[in-house]
Structure formats: structure tokens, C-alpha cells
Amino acid sequence: MTLFGRCYCGEIRYEAGGEVRSRVQCHCRECQYISGGSPNVIMAMPADAFHYLAGSPRQFSRSDIDQPVTREFCGTCGTHLLTRSPRLPGLVLVKVGTLDDPSIFQRPDAAIFAIDKQAFHHVQDDVPVFERRKPA
């Protein structure tokens, strides 16, 4: 499967190939900051099959925490494109809203970090919910 996506302004375009490893709805507080208050909806894809087709993202990693993730975003419009986590080597976490066809997501395999979930966040009744990370 090959998925295509872009940032809001179109300066950055990408392709993500390979099999989707997981579909997740993350409620952690960090994702709430990045999303503007909502859970983050992501698809884990093989890093070696992810390529930027146009433009180059900027990166941000916090320097005050152990094993920080690296967030890649458009320096022009600010769209958050993906996350690279040291805890998930070989994967990129693609932000579903940046896909040309976000309907490919369908539904999450799990909702994680529900310990930080806000009352206004919705999780479908049939989706497994984990207080922290999903067990391996």
C-alpha cells in the first residue's frame, strides 16, 4: 500500500509505503498540545518506505525529557506531518489529517494514554482503551 499526503499549504508532499502497522488514537497531554486539544490520530508506517517528495520539514525535539520524540512539520504553514519515536525504531507515525485520503484510517486499533483523556474526547465503544501505552 502506498499513501500520499501533504501539509496544508502544499509546500511539503510525501509518500508512505508498506503495510500499516497500527492505527492509534492518542490522548496523551503532549498530543493535545500538538493538536490544539484533540487526541492525535496516527498510522504507524515503515520508516524505510516513507519519503518526502517535495519540500523539507523542520524538526523539533524537546531537550528536557528522556527519549524525546522528533516531530516533523512544515516550516511555512506549521502542519504537523509525522512523529519519529526512539521507542518505535523503524516506524514513522503519520498524522492522518495530512493524508490525501484520510478515510483510509477507518477506525483506531486502540486508544492510548486514556489517563490524559479529556471529557470532550470521544472513543468508539468497540475500541480497546489503554491508560498508557498499548502493550507490545
Secondary structure (3-state) at 13: strand
Q: The domain that contains 13 carries what CATH number?
A: 2.170.150.70
Residue 13 lies in a domain: yes
Residue 125 lies in a domain: no
Domain that holds residue 66: 2-21+40-103
Residue 72 lies in a domain: yes
Residue 66 lies in a domain: yes
Residue 127 lies in a domain: no
Residues 20, 98: Cα–Cα separation, whole Å: 15
- In DSSP notation, 56-96 reads --EEE--SSSSS--EEEE-TTT--EEEEE-TTSTTEEEEEG
- Contact between 112 and 26 under an 8 Å Cβ cutoff? The reply is yes
Q: What is the pTM of this model?
A: 0.90
Residue 87 lies in a domain: yes
- Contact between 38 and 57 under an 8 Å Cβ cutoff? The reply is no
Residue 26 lies in a domain: no
**What are the tens digits of pLDDT across the range 56-94?**
999 999 899 888 899 999 999 999 999 999 999 999 999
Residue 131 lies in a domain: no
The total number of structural domains that make up the chain:
1
pLDDT at residue 3 is higher than 70: yes
pLDDT at residue 136 is higher than 70: no
**What are the tens digits of pLDDT across the range 4-47?**
999 999 999 999 999 999 999 999 898 888 888 889 999 999 99
**What are the tens digits of pLDDT across the range 97-130?**
999 999 999 999 999 999 999 999 999 999 998 9
